[in-house]
Amino acid sequence: MELWLIKIAVPVLFVLLSFILYDAVFRNRKEKTTKTNDKEMCIIPRCGRETGYRKDTPVNKRNHYVRGAGQLCDKCGNEFLLDEYRKRKNALESAFG
């Protein structure tokens, strides 16, 4: 009686355990790849850090997105805006003042 139970229970447990392990490993690997591949990277070559935006984020819900170029990270985006501001300020000042 007991031997019969062990003969059934051990393979069943083994199969269940291997299913659980396989599922955990597979799910973990899938999450890892989607996490790294779906993040948009900064387009500035000397920067190249993660922007924090996923690739499927709509363009109108992002900051520092440049049409035709791509996504800037917060740091480069702020630098870019400051640059643009200075350029326009200088142009206005040289035109009127």
Residues that bind Zn ion (CB under 5 A): 42, 44, 47, 73, 76
φ/ψ (deg, to 5) at 41:
-100, 155
8 Å CB contact between 63 and 77: yes
Q: Indicate the residue among 47 and 52 with the shorter CB distance to Zn ion.
A: 47
Q: How far is the CB of 63 from Zn ion (least distance, A)?
A: 12
Q: Indicate the residue among 31 and 83 with the shorter CB distance to Zn ion.
A: 83
Strand runs labelled E in 23-68: 39-41, 50-54, 65-66
C-alpha to C-alpha distance for 42 and 73, rounded to whole angstroms: 5
Q: How far is the CB of 22 from Zn ion (least distance, A)?
A: 39
Q: How far is the CB of 79 from Zn ion (least distance, A)?
A: 8
Q: Indicate the residue among 65 and 76 with the shorter CB distance to Zn ion.
A: 76
